[in-house]
Chains A and B, each alone.
Chain A
Amino acid sequence: MRPVAIIGIGKTAFGAFPDRDLRSLAVEAGQKCLADAHVSPSQVEAYYLGNFAGPSFVGQNHLAPYIAGAMGITGVPCTRFEAACASSGSAFYHAVSSVAAGLNDVVLVAGVEKMTSQTTPKVTEILAGAGDTCGEVRAGATFPALFAMIARRHMYQYGTTREMLAAVAVKNHENGAKNPLAHMRKVITMEQALKGKPISEPLTVFDCSLISDGAAAVLIAPLERAPEFTDQPVKVRAVAQTSDYVALDQKDDITTFRAVSAAAQKAYKMAGVTAQDIQFAEVHDCFTIAEIIATEDLGFVKKGEGGPYALAGCTRLTGPLPINTSGGLKSKGHPVGATGVGQICDLVYQLRGEAGERQLARHSLGLAQNLGGSGATAVVTILGVA
């Protein structure tokens, strides 16, 4: 296996862009990424695209060659990966595998979603397609409902409170307000977060990530070739993808995502590090409870201690383990297919010292955790300065 490096990144802003179509967003991210690495489209040997539901949201299939062609990339393998909200995390895992194996050298990995052209009930229905449509979804489950049931059980077993959930939202908005590419750049108060409109009890609108449009891209290459393209290569220390049952009611314990803990253990082993070595992380806060559970499943805190850890401010920019310095899915936005690669870009901004007001003092080893559905796909990536 060859060591792999990230040699370029590119992101669009995340937000609601009525004048932009899916392809133009993906092209913008891809072109910014190629420019960042000074690479021309003809040098790209493969295009891996994460997209959850382009066919449902905008009626377009065959997305990977459709977008690659618009960037002038033809004659190479162009493939779309679908793994719900972990679609582009999965694309990244498979792209790294191909470079590590020696099949390709210069590979563009991207994620895109165009969601805001549909009504919220329609978006809710399309997203529910990432659940078990013959079981939980048929009974009326939505993704907020599934995570609300996870939250209720976590509260019941561990004493997690509404304030602890709200602390995650307040912190992520605090960070997102400082991120020029974030969807909702505004701070919120604890009181606002607690009094939000109910979406699925106990979750309010402030516990839920945003419905967004956006795209993100990274360019990868063998580490030994990285100096040809950049002075600041980032090393892929580890990437691991695992799975679990799709239906929430098939999981023994819904207060943990065992796919995440399994992926994390594999990734720590691959990187030769422990959870305590990680300096900062981008985790999949599709709902506030998911960030709390992520801190537990990744081994940053013991089971049941994620809520108090968030409430104590330990995951803020000034805390011992800053989480979601980008603002997370909650404030930065969650164009689902773009989220996994977007998180990787956000780690790279920190690792390269380009995170502006959000720049951390310790920024040489970061982790990203991307979750699909209610935990049926998990991708954990560890990046370090090369």
Chain B
Amino acid sequence: MKSGVVYTETVVHAAPEQFVADAPYQLAIVSLEEGGRLTARIEGERVVIGDRVDFVEGNGIPFFRKA
């Protein structure tokens, strides 16, 4: 399973048309343990920079959750 650390994050209030129903949602750039970074949604508890997060299955969209 992919794990990583939150490099940066935001909570999106003004969403694009296709995600209006999801707002507000948290988005983060995760520095992956295996190397590289990934922009992903955060599920559940809100995270801050430096938090460890684990990958969870998304529906075509990468989701992570606080470890």
Residues in chain A within 8 A of chain B (CB atoms) = 119-122, 124-125, 128, 135-142, 144-145, 148-150, 152-153, 156, 197-203, 247-250, 254
Question: Distance in Å from the Cβ of B49 to the closest Cβ of chain A?
Answer: 5
**Which residues of B (8-58) have their CB < 8 Å from a CB of A?**
8-20, 22, 24-25, 27-29, 37-41, 49
Cα of A62 to Cα of B61 in the assembled complex, Å:
35
Cα of A46 to Cα of B61 in the assembled complex, Å:
45
Question: Distance in Å from the Cβ of A151 to the closest Cβ of chain B?
Answer: 8
**Is A139 a contact partner of B8 (Cβ separation < 8 A)?**
no
Q: Which of A138, A144, A152 contacts B14 (CB 8 A)?
A: A144
Cα of A156 to Cα of B31 in the assembled complex, Å:
16
**Is A140 a contact partner of B41 (Cβ separation < 8 A)?**
yes
Residues in chain B within 8 A of chain A (CB atoms) = 7-20, 22, 24-25, 27-29, 37-41, 49, 60-62
| CB neighbours of A250 from chain B (8 A) | 37
| CB neighbours of B24 from chain A (8 A) | 198
Cα of A248 to Cα of B28 in the assembled complex, Å:
11
**Is B37 a contact partner of A142 (Cβ separation < 8 A)?**
no
Q: Which of A122, A125, A145, A247 contacts B10 (CB 8 A)?
A: A145
Q: Which of A121, A152, A203 contacts B9 (CB 8 A)?
A: A152
**Is B10 a contact partner of A153 (Cβ separation < 8 A)?**
no
**Is B37 a contact partner of A249 (Cβ separation < 8 A)?**
yes
Q: Which of B9, B27, B38, B49 contacts A140 (CB 8 A)?
A: B27
**Is B13 a contact partner of A136 (Cβ separation < 8 A)?**
no
**Is B12 a contact partner of A156 (Cβ separation < 8 A)?**
no
| CB neighbours of A202 from chain B (8 A) | 10
Known: A124-B17, A140-B27, A153-B8. 6 other contacts (CB 8 A): A128-B16, A136-B39, A144-B14, A149-B9, A149-B29, A156-B49
| CB neighbours of A198 from chain B (8 A) | 11, 13, 24
| CB neighbours of B60 from chain A (8 A) | 138
| CB neighbours of B27 from chain A (8 A) | 139-141, 145, 149
Name, among B11, B18, B25, B39, the residue most crowded by chain A CB atoms within 10 Å (CB to CB): B39
| CB neighbours of A247 from chain B (8 A) | 39
What are 8 A-B contacts with C-beta separation under 8 Å?
Answer: A140-B15, A140-B27, A141-B12, A142-B15, A145-B12, A149-B8, A149-B9, A150-B8
Q: Taking CB as reference atom, which chain B residue is nearest A132?
A: B39
Question: Distance in Å from the Cβ of A222 to the closest Cβ of chain B?
Answer: 45
| CB neighbours of B10 from chain A (8 A) | 145, 148-149, 152, 200-203
| CB neighbours of A125 from chain B (8 A) | 16-18
**Is B13 a contact partner of A201 (Cβ separation < 8 A)?**
yes
Given contacts A138-B61, A139-B61, contact A152 B8 (CB under 8 A): yes
**Is A199 a contact partner of B8 (Cβ separation < 8 A)?**
no
Cα of A120 to Cα of B16 in the assembled complex, Å:
8
**Is A249 a contact partner of B11 (Cβ separation < 8 A)?**
no
Cα of A136 to Cα of B7 in the assembled complex, Å:
14
Q: Which 4 A-B pairs have the closest CB atoms?
A: A148-B10, A136-B39, A125-B16, A121-B17
Q: Taking CB as reference atom, which chain B residue is nearest A208?
A: B14
**Is A121 a contact partner of B15 (Cβ separation < 8 A)?**
yes
Cα of A248 to Cα of B49 in the assembled complex, Å:
16
Cα of A16 to Cα of B37 in the assembled complex, Å:
39
| CB neighbours of B18 from chain A (8 A) | 125
| CB neighbours of B39 from chain A (8 A) | 135-136, 139, 141, 247-249
Q: Taking CB as reference atom, which chain A residue is nearest B25?
A: A140
Cα of A128 to Cα of B13 in the assembled complex, Å:
15
Q: Which of A122, A124, A140, A254 contacts B8 (CB 8 A)?
A: A254
**Is B20 a contact partner of A140 (Cβ separation < 8 A)?**
no
| CB neighbours of A149 from chain B (8 A) | 8-10, 27-29
Q: Which of B11, B19, B20, B62 contacts A200 (CB 8 A)?
A: B11
Name, among A149, A156, A254, the residue most crowded by chain B CB atoms within 10 Å (CB to CB): A149
Question: Distance in Å from the Cβ of A179 to the closest Cβ of chain B?
Answer: 26
Q: Taking CB as reference atom, which chain A residue is nearest B49?
A: A156
Q: Taking CB as reference atom, which chain B residue is nearest A143?
A: B16
Cα of A128 to Cα of B27 in the assembled complex, Å:
15
Q: Taking CB as reference atom, which chain A residue is nearest B17?
A: A121
